[in-house]
Amino acid sequence: MANVRTTLPPGTEIEIWFQDEARVGQKNKITRRWARRGTRPSAPHDQRTQSAYIFGAICPERGKGAGLVMPRCDSEAMTAHLAEISTMVAPGAHGVVILDQAGWHLSGSLAIPENITLLPLPSRAPELNPVENVWQYLRDNWLSNHVFENYDDILSYCCEAWNRLIERPWKIMTIGLRDWAHEF
């Protein structure tokens, strides 16, 4: 990875960010539903395959996030997302972005902003990334059990769901805080 920094100016504030992406589309997940005992509630399920990806990052300690909805997962989309995260890091602070080892996260073609350092999680350890819980929250509350009309509808729902999350900094803190991330 090309963006290893050995030193930062003394006193530089460090923000811990977690990053991941989730596919949302017409072939969507069905989640649990409340229903009267003995009944079988119906849930819409679409077989079409258009989709988009929410690139999301949260800073649980500050209750803030940065997100983009993109048509695909690749280095270009990741570079755009890193630029978005960079704008959300407090002025004068440095963001450590913790992410999984997807190919587009570690690509040599990424343009990594100066105020960010990438820190990959161990392989096959999604439970260490609280953004996985963010995706579950978004699906449970705003994205699942829905049939999207078209691609623009998918984009609209993804943006609306992410913006609703960002309006709830206490929810970001509740979902995302991990003691181990702030002990070093």
Tens of pLDDT along 87-130?
A: 999 999 999 999 999 999 989 999 999 999 999 999 988 889 99
pLDDT digits (tens, 9 = 90+) for 11-65: 999 999 999 999 998 655 556 667 788 887 766 555 657 889 999 999 999 999 9
pLDDT digits (tens, 9 = 90+) for 154-170: 999 999 999 999 999 99
The per-residue pLDDT for 1 is: 46
Distance CA 90, CA 73 (A): 27
Tell me if 121 sits within 8 A of 96, measured CB to CB. Answer: no
Report which residue type is found at 127: E
Q: What is the CA radius of gyration of the chain?
A: 18
- Helix, strand, coil shares of the chain, percent, nearest 5, are 35, 20, 45
Q: Which domains does the chain have, with CATH numbers?
A: 14-26+49-182 (3.30.420.10)
Distance CA 130, CA 175 (A): 7
Burial class (CB in 10 A: 0-12, 13-18, 19+), 119: middle
Within a 10 A sphere around the Cβ of 127, how many other Cβ atoms? 9
